[in-house]
Amino acid sequence: MSFLFFAIIVSVLTLLFAMFISKEISKKEVGNKKMEEIAGHISEGAMAFLKKEYRYLGIFILVVAIAIAVFLHIKTAISFVLGALFSIAAGYAGMKVGVKANVRTAQAATKGKEDALSVAFSGGTVMGLSVVGLGVLGLAILSLIFNLEIEYITGFGLGASSIALFARVGGGIYTKAADVGADLVGKVEVGIPEDDPRNPAVIADNVGDNVGDIAGMGADLFESYVGSLISALTLGVAASASLGKNAVMFPMYVSVAGIIASIIAIFIVRYSKGKDPQKTLNLGLYVSVVLMIIFSLILSKTILNTIKPFISVLVGILVGVFIGKITEYYTSDNYKPVKTIAEESQTGAATNIISGLAIGMKSTVVPILIIALGVLLSYFLIGGAEDASLGLYGIALAAVGMLATSGMVISVDAYGPIADNAGGIAQMADMPKEVREITDKLDSVGNTTAAIGKGFAIGSAALTALALFASYAQAVNLESINLLNPLTLTGLLVGCMVPFLFAALTMEAVGKSATKMVEEVRRQFKEKKGIMEGTEKPDYAKCVEISTDAALKEMLLPGILAIAIPLVVGFLLGVEALAGTIAGALGTGVMVAMFMSNAGGAWDNAKKYIEGGAYGGKGSDSHKAAVVGDTVGDPFKDTSGPSMNILIKLMTIVSVVFAVVISNYGGILLK
CA of 187: how far to CAs of 182, 518, 624, in Å?
7, 12, 8
Q: Is the pLDDT of residue 517 over 80?
A: yes
Closest Cα to residue 53, out of 165, 138, 135? 165
pLDDT value, residue 209: 78
Rounded to whole angstroms, the Cα distance separating 660 from 72 reads 9
Can you point out the beta strands (E) in 78-140? Answer: none
Between 453 and 66, where is the model more confident?
66
Residue 254: CA count within 13 A, CB half-sphere: 38
Q: Please state, in angstroms and rounded to a whole number, the distance separating the CA atoms of residues 323 and 368.
A: 9
Write down the number of H helices and E strands in the chain: 24, 0
pLDDT in tens, 266-304: 999 988 776 788 888 888 989 999 999 999 999 999 999
CA dihedral 154, 156, 162, 164 (to 10 degrees): -120
Examine the pLDDT at 400 and tell me if it is beyond 90: yes
Instruction: Average the pLDDT over 156-175 and give the result.
Output: 87
Amino acid at 339: K
The CA distance from 495 to 65, in Å, is 26
Q: For 88-128, how does the pLDDT look when each residue is reduced to its tens digit (9 = 90+)?
A: 999 888 888 988 999 999 999 998 888 888 999 999 999 99
Query: Does the structure show a pLDDT above 70 at 167?
Result: yes
Across the range 631-657, mean pLDDT stands at 89
What is the rounded average pLDDT for all residues in the chain? 89
Give me the pLDDT at residue 439, please. 85
pLDDT above 90: residue 390: yes
Instruction: Tell me: pLDDT of 621 over 70.
Output: yes
Question: Which one has a higher pLDDT value, 607 or 459?
Answer: 607
Average pLDDT over residues 490-502: 95
Would you say 522 and 185 are in contact if contact means Cβ atoms under 8 Å apart? Answer: yes
Torsion of Cα atoms, 305 then 311 then 312 then 315, to 10°: 160
**Mean pLDDT value of segment 148-154:** 88
Domain count, the chain: 1
Over residues 614-624, mean pLDDT: 90
Give the model confidence (pLDDT) of 555-584 as tens digits: 888 888 888 999 999 999 999 999 999 999
Share of residues in the chain with pLDDT > 70 (%): 99
* Cα→Cα distances 15→20, 90, 136, 441, 474, Å: 9, 10, 11, 30, 35
Furthest-apart CA atoms within the chain: distance in Å: 77
pLDDT tens track for 304-355: 999 999 999 999 999 988 998 898 899 888 899 999 999 999 999 999 999 9
- Which of 592, 423, 418 is CA-nearest to residue 498? 592
Domain residues for 244?
Answer: 2-670
pLDDT tens-digit profile of 7-42? 999 999 999 999 999 999 999 988 888 888 888 888
Distance (Å, whole) CA 295 – CA 291:
6
496 alpha carbon, distance to own chain's centre: 22
pLDDT at res. 1: 62
Distances from the Cα of 243 to the Cα of 238, 239, 394, 566, angstroms: 9, 6, 12, 33
- 480 pLDDT band, cuts 50/70/90, is confident
Backbone conformation region of residue 335, classed left if phi is above 0, alpha if psi is from -120 to 50, else beta: beta
pLDDT exceeds cutoff 80 at 183:
no
CA distances from 646 to 62, 233, 409, 569, 620 (A): 21, 20, 18, 19, 39
Best CA proximity match to 403, nearest among 516, 311, 319 = 319
Q: Residues 411-442: pLDDT tens digits?
A: 988 888 898 888 888 888 888 888 888 888 88
Q: Report pLDDT for 451.
A: 67
Burial class (CB in 10 A: 0-12, 13-18, 19+), 136: buried
Contact present, 44 and 135 (Cβ < 8 Å): no
Are 554 and 513 contacting, i.e. CB atoms less than 8 angstroms apart?
yes
Question: On the CB side of 68, how many CA atoms lie within 13 Å of its CA?
Answer: 28
What's the pLDDT at 612? 84
pLDDT at 192 over 70: yes
184 pLDDT higher than 80 = no
Residue type, 480: S
| Amino acid 671: pLDDT | 67
